[in-house]
Amino acid sequence: MRRYHHGDLRNALLTAARALLEAKGASALAVREIARQVGVTAPAAYHHFSNLDDIILGLAQVAAEELAAALREAGSAPSGRLLGMGRAYIAFACRNPQLYRLLFGDGLSTTSPARVEIDRLQQQIYTLVSAELPRAAETGETFGHGVFIWSVAHGLSLLLIDDRIAAADRQALVDSVLKLAGRGLRP
């Protein structure tokens, strides 16, 4: 059954890399190990990726798309979109901790697709803020407000991922922090 030609090696490598990443952390990502998991020799990977960083870039791209999709869904709710998107953002990070960390690490060049996708997310946030907070939009504070809520979501996500917060009920904590953030935004 083992064919010489795999058929879908690129995706298989990405899937294996993702599993390896979440299982053993970013420092365990290795071309040889990823290829081994798929049952292929290392140089085979070089026909689909130019190097290890390129594989990581592929992972980041997947992550960015998934995060964007999760936020898009949360943003389609009729009301309370800011809170819903905050929840969805943090939930994604907690569900894919290493992948989320990868997305905001320093390995991604400014022109990488993942980076571009995140920039798009950022714009979405600003748009949403100016829609939900007409007052801020009027006074030209949309930018500061957007950065503020993104900081809260990003910071809390990472603190939770790192297990730096001992909380009995995580969801309750997330909601209460988001509530405080919301209070900061009201006029």
Positions touching DNA (CB under 7 A) are 3-7, 9, 29-33, 35, 40-44, 46-48, 50-53
User: Using CA atoms, how far apart are residues 56 and 4, in angstroms rounded to an integer?
Assistant: 25
CA 93/CA 90 separation, integer angstroms: 5
Measured from the CB atom, the residue of 12 and 63 that comes closer to a copy of itself is 63
The length of the chain, given as a count of residues: 187
For 93, half-sphere exposure in the C-beta direction (CA atoms, 13 angstrom radius) is 22
Residues 19 and 99 sit within 8 Å (Cβ to Cβ): no
Residue 152 binding result from DNA, a copy of itself, none, given CB thresholds of 5 to 8 Å by partner type:
a copy of itself
**CB count in 10 Å sphere of residue 117:** 18
Smallest gap from Cβ 138 to DNA, in A, equals: 50
Residues that bind a copy of itself (CB under 8 A): 25-27, 98, 101, 104-107, 110, 118, 122, 141, 143-145, 147-148, 150-156, 158-159, 162-165, 167, 173, 176-177, 180-185
Name which of 11 and 180 has its Cβ closer to a copy of itself: 180
User: From the CB of 35, what's the least distance to a copy of itself, in Å?
Assistant: 20
Q: Which is nearer to a copy of itself, 12 or 89 (by Cβ)?
A: 89
From the list DNA, a copy of itself, none, partner contacted by residue 44 (C-beta under 5 to 8 A by kind):
DNA
What residue 181 binds from DNA, a copy of itself, none (CB within 5 to 8 A, per partner kind)? a copy of itself
DSSP 106: S
Q: Which amino acid is at 174?
A: V
Q: Cβ distance 64 to 75 under 8 Å?
A: no
Q: How far is the CB of 2 from a copy of itself (least distance, A)?
A: 34
Distance CA 187, CA 112 (A): 38
